[in-house]
Amino acid sequence: MVRTIEEIRLTPAGLLTDEEIGMLDPAGQEYVTRFRAQKAREAACLRHERVSTATREQTNRGNHRGRCMHCGRDMSWDSGD
């Protein structure tokens, strides 16, 4: 099945084949390459350890920003206040 470039653009980056990635413009190809590299780093991380990146004011409002100190995965959460 041949897909149009518009269908390829609307497909999540993790589901694209190498052939479909080659049909994207250079910026799209770079985005998918970075996305795949980040997912590979996250998958290889043995244990995620959260480091807070929120300011005191953000934390007081319930916005607890953070990331993994090993792979950089976003580990932010919001209490919904």
pTM of the model: 0.66
State the distance between the two ends of the chain, measured CA to CA, in whole angstroms. Answer: 47
Q: Which amino acid is at 18?
A: D
d(CA 71, CA 5): 32
CB atoms within 10 A of CB 69: 13
Q: Is the pLDDT of residue 66 over 70?
A: yes
> Is pLDDT at 80 greater than 80 in this prediction?
no
Q: How far apart are CA 35 and CA 29, in angstroms?
A: 10
Q: Which residues contact 69 (CB under 8 A, 6 or more apart)?
A: 49, 50, 51
Inter-residue contact 31 to 14 (CB < 8 Å): no
Taking residues 45-51, what's their average pLDDT? Answer: 92
